[in-house]
Chain A
Amino acid sequence: MPSQARPFFEQLLAAMMKPDREALEKLVHPDFMGDFPQSGERARGFAQFWGQLEAYPGGAPGDVDALPGMRVVGDEERWAMSPGYSVVPLADPTRFTIVGSVVYPDGVRWHIIMSVELRDGRLFRSETYFGPEMAAPIAESIAARSRG
């Protein structure tokens, strides 16, 4: 999976944006469970996963390529070297953190961080967090302190 993780998530997110039910049914595990911890919501199974995409106000963004600037954390190459100096394959990682951002209809950009787990090559668990862009309070605070 490491070499295939990014294409998998690009395909998944593009299918979510359209949304493309047929493609998603192949990518989402039947026992999927997705949490939005900020609101306490949980989508269980494909029907609920699809239901919340279908009900999105104003419809999905449409035919766009995944999330702008999307990064997949956790798919870095990991390897092991045997005492004979041969490189041996590893058990595939199944947990990843996906980072990207979207611009909402009101023009505000939100960062999206998804912690996901794959099983049987499909999306099995997800936890999604949404953080708005904001001013730079820390930098301002430090600058104010240094000014006295």
Chain B
Amino acid sequence: MAETKQDFFRRYIQAIAELDFATLEQMIHADYVGEYPQSGERFSGFASFRAQLESYPGGLPAARFDDPKTKILGDEERWAITPGYTVLPLAGPERYTTVSRAPYPDGSRWWVVSILTLKDGKVWHAETYFAPEFDPPEWRKGIVEIMPRD
């Protein structure tokens, strides 16, 4: 059975967490471009992708990304039915948004939101944002609910 997009991206996130470059090399497109818009950084190709993971100061935390908060958006079924009630495959850009959390060496936890585009079944373009946890501001107290953190 073909791998679902959910499984593909979970495998991708897991491979990053484990620095599994053999797996990642198969999942990254030869023309890959990754961007960090917050810092204006861009890296092209697998070597650059690998270098920025390997160069992480102190090494990436070994924690696995089996966080229940990890999710994939954009993989909901899209379909078309012809007048003859035949279900047809679709064409169009394959863009997905992944949300995960990453523990940093200083003990803080950041949300990682990536907008990923696939080409030829591989990750072709990635735009990634890093968002720190913060305490609810005083001015919103009493207006919104506070969900328990895990």
**Which residues does A use to contact B, with CB under 8 Å?**
35-44, 48, 51-52, 55-57, 73-74, 76-83, 88-91, 93-95, 97, 99, 111, 113, 115, 127, 129-139, 141-142, 144-145
Contacts and interface: CB of A to CB of B under 8 A. Distances in A.
A39 to B, nearest CB: 4
Contact of B143 (A38, A52, A127, A141): A52
Interface string B72-102: 0110101111100010111111010101000
B81 to A, nearest CB: 8
Give chain B's interface residue range (CB within 8 Å of chain A). Answer: 35 or more
In the A-B complex, the 7 residue pairs with the smallest Cβ-Cβ separation, listed nearest first, are A78-B92, A80-B80, A80-B88, A51-B143, A136-B39, A129-B131, A141-B55
Interface stretch (B6-14, B22-30, B132-140): B132-140
B147 A138 contact: no
A116 B121 CA distance: 25
Interface of B: 36-41, 43, 48, 51-52, 55-57, 69, 73-74, 76, 78-82, 86, 88-93, 95, 97, 99, 111, 113, 115, 127, 129-137, 139-140, 143-149
Contacts of A93: 76, 78
Given A80-B80, A97-B74, A99-B115, A138 B144 contact: no
A41 B140 contact: yes
